[in-house]
A and B are shown apart, each in its own frame.
Chain A
Amino acid sequence: MSLFRFSSTALDTAALRAELTDPGCGAYAAFEGWVRDNNDGQRVTRLEYEAYAPLAAREGERIIAEAVSRFGLRGALCVHRIGALPLGEIAVWVGASAPHRDEAFRACRYIIDEVKHRLPIWKKEYYEGGDSGWVNCERCAAAVVHAGADAAPSAAPETHGHGHAHGPRR
């Protein structure tokens, strides 16, 4: 089974964790990204994720392989939700197992950061009052139009903790 997956249903974290158990490991760390009820001062009521799945799956596998090689992991797994998500649900899950804790912690951080920046996945937020918007897209468009040539899009306030991944970052 591939180490990066998409799921259109709620995640079973116990089952995911069980895939990483390994008697040679002294450490396991996991990261859960949750659907939050606010962003950028607006009340969020739900989210929708969309992905270019074949490319995202391949790039996701690549990120896991990088983490395994970089941190000497014994196991790693990442699952990203797709489709409509209510508040509070897990949007993305990362788990890593390693002989020692430092590698497991750092690998989780590496995987989630790279997933956010590199995978062709898009998030639409639906707000109280009926508005909606694609995260990063509207803001980038606004930054380009209003800020002038010398302001990088990343100068926009990063209230949601998402990088801007449209430039070749690697």
Chain B
Amino acid sequence: MSAPLYGLLLTGGRSRRMQRDKLTLEYGGQPQLARAMALLEPLVERSFISVRADQRDDPQRSAFPCITDVLPEIGPIGGIHAALCTHPETAWLVLAGDLPFLNTATLQQLIAARAPHRLATAFRSRHDGKPEPLCAIFEPASLSPIEAWIAAGQRCPRDFLAHSDVELLTLRDARALDNVNTAAEYLQARGEFAERSAGAGNSAGRTAAGVKRRLNIQYFALLREQAGRSQESVTSEAVDARALYAELSAARGLKLQPEQLRVAINEAFADWSQVLSEGDTVVFLPPVAGG
């Protein structure tokens, strides 16, 4: 029986060549962190992001379950190592944070070809024929050889896979694993996504002021009592959660101030300034009191 499959998005890179956090780069109006997690989540049992200890408070990252590096400053192999340590009976679908062209079909190809009796399943690089470590499945048995590899002073996950028992696949979508390292590469990739979404009739989801959006609102605790309902569907021109709360607090007599509340959009904590999209579920969270 093969081990359960969890997902891990590597976000601990320093983005030195880009000089900007690669996970915040936007394609089609959405940051890469959210795009990658949206790809990963439906395909695995649980999904996590890999972070350095100093990234734990980053608001974009802390919206997701994080696994912090156990061994700091050794690059992506440290993230893979921490995940295997945290859940040693689990296989990990590991993804780099800078693969804007990655798609569901490519991940499905990888998962379908998974060979649990080997240490890993990976694509063959179209550049050098070596295994691609940063869109690959690492089986639980890879933990101890990875630890030995690190203990021997090695860092490169590609070399690790090249010296291991790996199921190697040929990529069907040749561009799916092209990564983005520099500002010039980013601008080119972003341009391609803009063309795609223009061709698809503004499917990117971002909307502007003056557009009416249908939103689902849920109320809890004191706000539920003040609103006299636990949910409602509204049509609003509010661009962000702050404007929406101003509208609703007037219409429904909500007496808590925004400073006392937090916001969740589509079941994740969000910023008050997050732009709303058609069909979003918005919840204003009164001060909590669990325990």
Can you list, as one digit per residue, whether each of B279-291 has a CB less than 8 Å from chain A (1) or not (0)?
0000101111111
- A164 at the binding interface (Cβ < 8 Å): yes
- A5 at the binding interface (Cβ < 8 Å): no
- B19 at the binding interface (Cβ < 8 Å): no
A55-B291 CB under 8 A given contacts A61-B46, A141-B255? no
Of A80, A92, A162, A166, most buried by chain B (CB within 10 Å of CB) is: A166
Can you list, as one digit per residue, whether each of A132-170 has a CB less than 8 Å from chain B (1) or not (0)?
001111101100100000000100000000101110101
- B62 at the binding interface (Cβ < 8 Å): yes
- A25 at the binding interface (Cβ < 8 Å): no
A120 and B256 form a contact (CB under 8 A): no
B286 and A134 form a contact (CB under 8 A): yes
**Alpha-carbon distance A163/B257, docked complex (angstroms):** 18
B290 and A69 form a contact (CB under 8 A): no
- A33 at the binding interface (Cβ < 8 Å): yes
What's the nearest-Cβ distance from chain B to residue A158, in Å?
12
Contacts of B291 in A (CB 8 A): 33, 80, 91-92, 112, 115-116, 121, 162
What's the nearest-Cβ distance from chain B to residue A3, in Å?
10
Among the stretches B146-154, B179-187, B263-271, the one at the interface with A is B263-271
Contacts of A137 in B (CB 8 A): 221-222, 256, 260, 286-287, 289
B260 and A122 form a contact (CB under 8 A): no
- B65 at the binding interface (Cβ < 8 Å): yes
Partner of A166, one of B48, B85, B220, B286: B286
How many CB-defined contacts (below 8 Å) exist between A and B?
125
- B82 at the binding interface (Cβ < 8 Å): yes
Contacts of A170 in B (CB 8 A): 56-57, 59, 62
Complex interface residues of chain B between 60 and 116 (CB less than 8 A to chain A): 62, 64-68, 70, 82, 85-86
What's the nearest-Cβ distance from chain B to residue A14, in Å?
22
A141 and B290 form a contact (CB under 8 A): no
A121-B66 CB under 8 A given contacts A50-B220, A137-B222, A170-B57? no
Complex interface residues of chain B between 238 and 279 (CB less than 8 A to chain A): 255-257, 259-262, 264, 267-269
Partner of B221, one of A69, A124, A144, A162: A124
Instruction: Across the interface, name the chain B residue whose C-beta is closest to A121.
Output: B290
**Alpha-carbon distance A56/B220, docked complex (angstroms):** 13
What's the nearest-Cβ distance from chain B to residue A135, in Å?
4
**Alpha-carbon distance A39/B148, docked complex (angstroms):** 55
Contacts of B46 in A (CB 8 A): 61
Which residues of A does B touch, CB under 8 Å?
A: 33, 49-52, 54-56, 58-59, 61-62, 65-66, 68-70, 80, 91-92, 112, 115-124, 134-138, 140-141, 144, 153, 162, 164-166, 168, 170
Name 6 interchain pairs, CB-CB below 8 A, sorted by A. A52-B264, A80-B290, A116-B290, A137-B221, A141-B255, A170-B56
A-B residue pairs, 10 tightest by C-beta: A121-B290, A122-B221, A135-B289, A116-B291, A62-B65, A136-B287, A123-B289, A166-B287, A137-B222, A134-B222
| 9 more A-B residue pairs beyond the given contacts A52-B264, A55-B267, A115-B291, with a C-beta to C-beta distance below 8 A | A50-B221, A66-B68, A120-B220, A120-B285, A124-B221, A136-B288, A137-B287, A166-B262, A170-B59
